[in-house]
Structure 1
């Protein structure tokens, strides 16, 4: 059997968003996965993967640590001799791509977002773009998750072999259409890592204003909380403004009673899985006019789009949502479900990968 090597930076994303692809791959190929150890490694091994423990500093910029990763990838590729390599996220894309190009191993890269290093400009942007230019040039295919990422990176790096896929897509069976809640209280969800770039400040400001004006509203926060926000969430929960639920393994239980998902991010997204999953469950969404988010929303039909970092605009759109009756809100959710069925089915992503892998390995 031919060998497929997958380079990724964490087990949660690989299992949650690439599981269906891996299930297809193990039917025809020997599949190796290189990433740090995590709770889903055993699940991936049960599917049929062979695990290679590979530490990665996901956010760090220490050149010594990155050189160690480069050296680790070199040893892995030399040992396994893969027929094709699939890479996800920035460091696997860059360092895996460099090693694959040097060793003339076919590889497919997935741009899951440009990252803050590229977004913020400066010296780090120039270094990152230089690395991308070398790493992606000989890729069999570079998959982009939105048009703006594609336009920026192809212009800066002269990539010619690329395609656009609908993010990671969404598993429409797992995230099935849920009955819309008929309660008099209106529940909003924030589902993301609790950090500045995900728009938590704007969400909390909006929650405080709306709760004071509309007592029948409830605001929920789900996700890992960064240290700087722990005290803030505790204080706002004590005042009855929000309910913080921490990390949740199954957000569908919260979609069952929620009326709307609010995702006020200004983080460099590829395509927002939070929005895809919410829409698949039949929930209207409110999010920012940002690549990876706005593509999922039909304005004022499946949800609302707000200016990023603008809590006043967010408040305005929440009030517009509250002015609807429940039948209108439910219709929004149904139209959102229809949109993801047509445009964001995960099978589209899986088939795109299987097609390029088959063509490359002929």
Structure 2
């Protein structure tokens, strides 16, 4: 049986879905990965996976370019004749599902991690696009051969309320999965430093990840005489309208507020060098960076918003602060700095939760079960994941 996995970047496929693709291969699937061209395509091929580029521009609104992309996908799917197409993110869900319908692919699975820019941004362009995208989603996600995978309970309720898809066809799978055994290396003894608590924010550098609030909190801590070593890992995302300009990040570095690490491949190693992970995001599907940090046994500080509160229960396995509240964020950092025993206890609980709810074995098993609803496909692993 052949399955096509379609995402808006090759980086996403490599970092978030390669374990799924490799597991599918071991289950006997033929797997084809599709995304816009990028440096991770060759890395996917080096793993023995088949990857092809698609002429997709994430921010494009050009009708001719979008029609060309749809036609490219239709021709590709007609050539490949897969049993199933699995799309990730809203744009890939729409285009992949529409192309699958036109090409006669019997099964369509879509995983939407959050509502995306169109539904969360207050910008005029986003508000104008919403009714169009809603209509396309209803068309793309409908039908008995479709399933929609969402990552948190808030999004499940939102999609049901919006009537975008038959509620019976919605499945809740929390995240893309993390190899908790790999990140256990992050639980080693922290390397010696200068005595300052090391606080990490690792994400795509977007305003809606809460970067402005993080920087404001750091300024408040400085005024209070607090010494923390703040680390920022990630790069701007030019394909997203909410990207933070590189010049702004460099201004924060020059101000002495953060150390900017850029893109980090060895996240397990980085997490093993810090004391606290924060993510003051405005909304998430289910944030992988928090799950990776939890798998390392780190205390977490995040916002009380959809997606983030799936990972953190306030005072149990992390601390929750209100969205957009830099003062509360600064207070939470200060609280963990003043109470190392609380930080330790939260980290232990976070790791237990990561292993029991967010490990990639669990996520891939649940995904295979969704496939089996639509195709004559195995619903369980025949061999363990490596």
How does the TM-score come out when normalised to structure 2? 0.87
**Offset at residue 213 of structure 1 (A):** 2.3
**Offset at residue 25 of structure 1 (A):** 1.2
Residue 231 of structure 2 is aligned to residue 220 of structure 1: yes
**Offset at residue 10 of structure 1 (A):** 1.1
* 1:193 aligned residue: 204
Q: Distance in 1 between matches of 2:178 and 2:219?
A: 32
Residue 162 of structure 2 is aligned to residue 148 of structure 1: no
Matches within 5 A, 1:182-261: 184-225=195-236, 229-261=245-277
**Offset at residue 195 of structure 1 (A):** 2.4
Structure 1: runs of 5+ lacking an equivalent? none
**Offset at residue 217 of structure 1 (A):** 1.4
Q: Distance in 2 between matches of 1:118 and 1:233?
A: 26
Residue 329 of structure 2 is aligned to residue 314 of structure 1: yes
SS in 1 for 2:70: helix
* 2:314 aligned residue: 299
Q: Distance in 1 between matches of 2:98 and 2:154?
A: 24
Moved over 6 A (4+): none
**Offset at residue 104 of structure 1 (A):** 4.7
Q: 1:323 to 1:87 in 2, by over 3 A?
A: same
* 2:187 aligned residue: 178
Q: Distance in 1 between matches of 2:244 and 2:306?
A: 27
> Deviation per CA, 1:218-263, whole angstroms, max 9, x where unpaired?
1111111368543333333234322111111112222122111111
Q: Is the 8 Å Cα contact of residues 205 and 244 (structure 2) preserved in structure 1?
A: no
Q: Distance in 2 between matches of 1:215 and 1:151?
A: 41
SS in 1 for 2:106: coil
* 2:111 aligned residue: 110
Residue 279 of structure 2 is aligned to residue 263 of structure 1: yes
RMSD after superposition: 2.0
Q: Is the 8 Å Cα contact of residues 3 and 82 (structure 1) preserved in structure 2?
A: yes
Of the structure 1 ranges 287-296 and 146-155, higher mean CA displacement relative to structure 2 is found in 146-155
Q: Distance in 1 between matches of 2:286 and 2:59?
A: 19
> Deviation per CA, 1:67-92, whole angstroms, max 9, x where unpaired?
12111111111111111111111121
**Offset at residue 40 of structure 1 (A):** 2.2
Q: 1:236 to 1:360 in 2, by over 3 A?
A: closer
Q: 1:52 to 1:235 in 2, by over 3 A?
A: closer
Matches within 5 A, 1:1-362: 2-27=1-26, 28-102=28-102, 103-120=104-121, 122-138=127-143, 139-156=145-162, 157-159=164-166, 160-176=168-184, 177-179=186-188, 181=190, 184-225=195-236, 229-266=245-282, 268-324=283-339, 326-362=340-376
Q: Distance in 1 between matches of 2:225 and 2:271?
A: 21
Q: 1:282 to 1:124 in 2, by over 3 A?
A: same
Q: Distance in 1 between matches of 2:226 and 2:268?
A: 25
Q: Distance in 2 between matches of 1:15 and 1:110?
A: 16
**Offset at residue 180 of structure 1 (A):** 5.2
> Deviation per CA, 1:101-149, whole angstroms, max 9, x where unpaired?
3425211111122112123473311111111101001243211111111
Structure 2: runs of 5+ lacking an equivalent? 238-242, 377-386
Q: 1:228 to 1:3 in 2, by over 3 A?
A: closer
Q: Is the 8 Å Cα contact of residues 211 and 218 (structure 1) preserved in structure 2?
A: no
Q: Distance in 2 between matches of 1:104 and 1:23?
A: 22
Q: 1:295 to 1:56 in 2, by over 3 A?
A: same
Q: 1:174 to 1:62 in 2, by over 3 A?
A: farther
SS in 2 for 1:305: strand
Of the structure 1 ranges 117-126 and 305-314, higher mean CA displacement relative to structure 2 is found in 117-126
How does the TM-score come out when normalised to structure 1? 0.93
